[in-house]
Structure 1
Amino acid sequence: MLIASYNLAQTGDVLMVVLRQDTTQQVYEKKNNIVRIYDEKSGKTLGYNFFAASTYLPQLNAAGQVNLTAEQVELLNQQLLANGMPAELVVDDQPHFVVGYVETMEEHPDSDHLHVLSVLVDGDEHLQIVCGAPNIAAGQKVVIAKVGAMMPSGAIIWPGKLRGIDSFGMVCSARELALPNAPQKRGILELPAADYQVGEAFDFLQAASLFSA
């Protein structure tokens, strides 16, 4: 997993790279312009902050998530090696927002409004997802934010539990996806079944026309 973000106006010339979920025992080390955040017990790297990032990635112009190319990842690995850190960054080019199909829906055993879904996504993968949207139903095509997705708000989707039940992703609303003119009410975005194929990467540009002004 590799999630990168950059926002010059808000955080300065810093590229933030996330590799793993935060832990309660995380510590950091700084070498020149690079900060490595890692778990103190396991030693595993959780992420990096690359300060003065534009000096070696001059094409950075995002204000949010950055989809790093193989060339950019290689440049970052070179910076890590030059500072005595492991060159452990690997390109993550898998889609994290995909079209899913809600195969089954069951009532959550410990909630009067949550549902436990089985959702078919890309690679013939079946995800268990807990969802509380009032309009969720079996048979729908929906947008799934898989584990490792960064939402437009900046939140990252991690595995979790809701009332004791494991959940591996999120069924998204149009508002959560920050689609233009999205309804500002609760409820997931149900995709037109004829226009979307299960498992395909969700196209934000194509979806921008779903809610015409």
Structure 2
Amino acid sequence: MNLFYNKNGVGDVLMVTIDPATENLEYAYQNDITIIKSESNIVGFNIFNASKYVQLEGSGNIKIQEKHISSIQDLLEKNNINYKLEVDLSPKFVVGYVTEKTKHPDADKLSVCQVDVDNGTLQIVCGAPNIDQGQKVVVAKVGAVMPSGMLIKDAELRGVPSTGMICSMKELDLEGAPKEKGIMVLDDSYTVGTPFFEDER
């Protein structure tokens, strides 16, 4: 789930994206809530007069907190909208360790990596030329929202399932990002499974 709020640019509207679908959208209206559907599935809500219902700080992509989920769920129930928000609040950008790297069976420039994130191993297809076994890396888990606004989802790349993304400095919008392509390799001071960004703790 992604929350976007920009009162100066858009008005007092909270945009709740559950699934970033862009085709076959349908809209239903219930008081201050616009329900957005794609092929009969709810993919998002626009909440008007949002500051009346949800405590919001800042502008742009909003870091989701328990208070946001609780307020939005309460608003849905009061408007007789039968939808249960299911949100994983665990950190989405974590330190991972590449335990195994193999060649993609159907793409010369892709590698299939097994990445330990402490509470499990993720299979991630990566196209970076500098990816290798034994590296500590930054992993954007499913549900992460990149600085570009892209939502990380389960994917399949050339027939191979991929869960999450191994990130470059540029993708993380970090200062001093090199121009050449490649993932960010961390030093040994980082602990596998811990949040990469301090404000995710």
> More helix per residue: 1 or 2?
1
1:8 Cα shift?
2.9
Take 1:169 and 1:152, find their aligned partners in 2: how far apart are those partners? 15
3-state secondary structure, aligned to 2:74: helix
Take 1:179 and 1:131, find their aligned partners in 2: how far apart are those partners? 20
1:97 Cα shift?
0.7
CA shift in 2, pair 1:66/1:106, >3 Å: same
1:45 Cα shift?
2.5
Match in the other structure for 1:103: 99
Q: Where does structure 2 lack aligned partners over 5 or more consecutive residues?
A: none
3-state secondary structure, aligned to 1:142: strand
2:108 to 112, 119, 122: 112
1:141-160 equivalent positions in 2, closer than 5 A: 141-160=136-155
Take 1:189 and 1:9, find their aligned partners in 2: how far apart are those partners? 35
Match in the other structure for 1:50: 47
Q: Where does structure 1 lack aligned partners over 5 or more consecutive residues?
A: 206-213
Take 1:72 and 1:151, find their aligned partners in 2: how far apart are those partners? 20
Match in the other structure for 2:6: 7
Take 1:10 and 1:164, find their aligned partners in 2: how far apart are those partners? 41
Q: Which amino acid in structure 2 is aligned with residue 73 of structure 1?
A: I
3-state secondary structure, aligned to 2:99: strand
Q: CA RMSD in A?
A: 2.2
Answering whether residue 126 of structure 2 is matched by residue 131 of structure 1, we say: yes
Answering whether residue 67 of structure 2 is matched by residue 71 of structure 1, we say: yes
Take 2:110 and 2:71, find their aligned partners in 1: how far apart are those partners? 45
Q: Percent identity?
A: 45
Deviates more, 1:158-167 or 1:22-31: 22-31
Match in the other structure for 2:80: 84
1:69 Cα shift?
2.8
Take 1:184 and 1:14, find their aligned partners in 2: how far apart are those partners? 37
3-state secondary structure, aligned to 2:185: coil
1:201 Cα shift?
1.1
Q: How many residue pairs get matched?
A: 200
Match in the other structure for 1:29: 28
State whether residues 78 and 87 of structure 1, in contact with CA within 8 Å, keep that contact through their aligned partners in structure 2. Answer: no
Take 1:8 and 1:136, find their aligned partners in 2: how far apart are those partners? 41
